[in-house]
A = this chain, B = another copy of it.
Amino acid sequence: MAQDNYFGLDASVAFEGEASRNPLAFRFYDKDRTVMGRRMEDQLRFAVCYWHSFTWPGGDPFGGETFLRPWMQPGEALARAKEKADAAFDLFRILDVPFFSFHDADVSPEGATLAESIRNLNEIADIFEKKMESAKVRLLWGTANLFSHRRYMAGAATNPDPEVFAYACGQVKAALDVTHRLNGANYVCWGGREGYETLLNTDMKRELDQLGRFLSMLVDYKHKIGFDGPILIEPKPKEPTKHQYDFDTATVFAFLQKYDLAKDVKLNLEQNHAILAGHSFDHEVKLAYANDLFGSLDINRGDDLLGWDTDQFAMDVKEMTLVFHEMLKHGGFSTGGLNFDAKIRRQSIDPQDLVIAHVASMDACARALLAAERMLEDKALETPLAERYAGWDKPEYKAVLAGEKTFEEVAEHGLGLQPQPRSGRQELLEGIVNRYV
């Protein structure tokens, strides 16, 4: 079967409405429906990722390839990469998604030298450019894989060997250049090996300084070439390393402040990384917005009972409703989108499993978006929230927050008070959320 009909589907997946029982149709994702003033497609901004969907063979630490994708079989590397691109763009067409995303290493083969790797990347970028002329799909973000090759086993920017640092600069420059020429909306840095396996051999302070320098230089370069999109950091606490420096939103916020990068660098958040760090997805998103760091979302789910990244397709409507509620409150995505950093299970070996998984998850997202819209329209959570903090609207307390009172003054005032606690009404609010999802 030709790679451009690898999935055996001539037509794109269509919206059939909630009553449909067709796993290859949308029940909620109705791209032209208006949600909070934008088309649903423009609110959700779905992207299919290259790595899980086209580059991962189905292996895990205890077993090898299960999918047997034709383009992963032995053969001339660049030719295989082109077959892969055909299959990928065919899936983009079938799903009718507005975006895709990739690492350099996903799309083109490693060369014998960095220069050759970059030539390979650009050769595939030429093909992408041509395909994107006719295809609808655009590039949500590009990124460089600085973790798979053994040269990066001890990190890229944080490597004890400065030659690796320099090599990484070379690789990232090429990846950003390609992202720029393909009009990518963002550029992502995932620091998968920027961390440590053991503190016994690690100078954490020095390595963080290296990382700060790397990003500062990258930000300068981005401005120089006129790349408008933000640089996005993707927090993850661990895996592959024991500890990663971009542990979670708060940790990255500390880092960005220290190295004065908070204006140019934002966050790409992911549910599975959030829970590995001990946070809810909602928490990470709210904290990012609270500190003006929100950028984009990797949309997947982890398994609450497992301690590694399972990157499953997101199916939990309630969880996403709360996230989209926050996002819509802030006016929706700017440059970001919902990137399917999700992989089908390695037993899902039929080509159409990949289509079905995206469809089911896009539908769960769409349903969540609609629920979030209704919650916002009803101010279902906003009204009780405003009531709860209403005391702070009094002038004397506004003055406290404004820094117009001393500790002694407020303490003196406190001496005369007998504050009475009020119900947090958690179960009431949980019941309210259940009405919407």
Contact with B along A139-169 (1 / 0, CB 8 A): 0000000011111111000011111111111
Question: When the two chains form their complex, are residues B407 and A345 in contact, meaning their CB atoms are under 8 A apart?
Answer: no
Please tell me which one of the listed residues B280, B350, B417, B427 contacts residue A305 in the complex, with CB atoms under 8 A apart. B280
Question: When the two chains form their complex, are residues B114 and A415 in contact, meaning their CB atoms are under 8 A apart?
Answer: yes
Question: When the two chains form their complex, are residues A348 and B425 in contact, meaning their CB atoms are under 8 A apart?
Answer: yes
Please tell me which one of the listed residues B305, B348, B385 contacts residue A278 in the complex, with CB atoms under 8 A apart. B305
A130 within 8 A of B: no
Contact with B along A19-41 (1 / 0, CB 8 A): 00101000100000000000000
Q: Which residues of B contact A356 (CB under 8 A)?
A: 427-428, 431
A65–B257 CA distance with the chains assembled, in angstroms: 36
A322 shortest CB reach to chain B, Å: 7
Interface residues of chain A: helix, strand, loop or mixed (majority): helix
Contact with B along A163-181 (1 / 0, CB 8 A): 1111111111110000000
Question: When the two chains form their complex, are residues B200 and A411 in contact, meaning their CB atoms are under 8 A apart?
Answer: no
A242 within 8 A of B: yes
A226 within 8 A of B: no
Q: Which residues of B contact A360 (CB under 8 A)?
A: 427-428, 430-431, 434
Q: Which residues of B contact A66 (CB under 8 A)?
A: 150, 153, 421
Please tell me which one of the listed residues B198, B277, B345, B435 contacts residue A197 in the complex, with CB atoms under 8 A apart. B345
Contact with B along A182-226 (1 / 0, CB 8 A): 000000000011000111111111101110010011101100100
Question: When the two chains form their complex, are residues A62 and B242 in contact, meaning their CB atoms are under 8 A apart?
Answer: no
Question: When the two chains form their complex, are residues A199 and B385 in contact, meaning their CB atoms are under 8 A apart?
Answer: no
Please tell me which one of the listed residues B221, B357, B417 contacts residue A427 in the complex, with CB atoms under 8 A apart. B357
Smallest Cβ-Cβ distance to A170: which chain B residue: B414
Chain A interface residue number, banded: 35 or more
Question: When the two chains form their complex, are residues A423 and B353 in contact, meaning their CB atoms are under 8 A apart?
Answer: yes
A49 shortest CB reach to chain B, Å: 15
Give the residues from 366 to 395 in chain A that come closer than 8 angstroms, CB to CB, to chain B: 381, 384-385, 388-389, 391-392, 394
A147–B347 CA distance with the chains assembled, in angstroms: 13
A344–B313 CA distance with the chains assembled, in angstroms: 32
A69 within 8 A of B: no
Give the residues from 386 to 437 in chain A that come closer than 8 angstroms, CB to CB, to chain B: 388-389, 391-392, 394, 397, 400-401, 403, 405-408, 410-415, 417-435
A127 within 8 A of B: no
Give the residues from 61 to 111 in chain A that come closer than 8 angstroms, CB to CB, to chain B: 61-66, 68
A350–B407 CA distance with the chains assembled, in angstroms: 33
Please tell me which one of the listed residues B202, B315, B431 contacts residue A434 in the complex, with CB atoms under 8 A apart. B315
Name 9 extra pairs, CB < 8 A, besides A199-B280, A210-B401.
Answer: A58-B150, A64-B149, A114-B415, A118-B415, A163-B391, A170-B413, A243-B279, A253-B254, A357-B427
